[in-house]
Structure 1
Amino acid sequence: MNTTLLGALALVLVLEGLGPMLFPSLWRRMISAMTSLPDTVLRRYGGALVVAGFVIYYMLHSAMS
């Protein structure tokens, strides 16, 4: 696997871990609020995050080439 992708995965894991580690009560409230959202809203959020991730990756990859 490409080292750039592994580095990106490592960064995502670090950033995802900071939320519950630094703000556990806020994190718990946010997760509870998300469980009440309809599936379509969650899918839109997920899709937007995926698209944003691809755009950022493309921009970084283009800048480094």
Structure 2
Amino acid sequence: MSSDSLWLALGLMLVMEGLLPFASPAQWRQLFARLMALTDGQIRFIGLLSMLAGIALLLALS
């Protein structure tokens, strides 16, 4: 993977992260409040699933 691809992926990730707060700030705030109520273990599990999905997507595209 070239450094250009890495920067492109990072830029795309930032755009995706900003979509919900831009389009619906009230809904984003509610989602964030629900996330704050989760335990550390639940948050880690969500992070693990997210990383595995990302790895699977990268492997499928390469």
Instruction: Tell me, yes or no, whether TM beats 0.5.
Output: yes
Runs of 4+ deviating beyond 6 Å: none
Gaps of 5+ in 1: none
The CA distance in 2 between the partners of 1:51 and 1:3, in whole Å, is: 23
Q: What's the Cα RMSD here?
A: 1.0
SS in 1 for 2:43: helix
> Could you tell me which residue of structure 1 aligns to residue 24 of structure 2?
23
Query: Residue type of the partner of 2:20?
Result: G
The CA distance in 2 between the partners of 1:2 and 1:59, in whole Å, is: 20
TM-score by length of 2: 0.90
The CA distance in 2 between the partners of 1:7 and 1:42, in whole Å, is: 27
> How far apart are 1:29 and its partner, in Å?
0.3
> How far apart are 1:3 and its partner, in Å?
1.6
Gaps of 5+ in 2: none
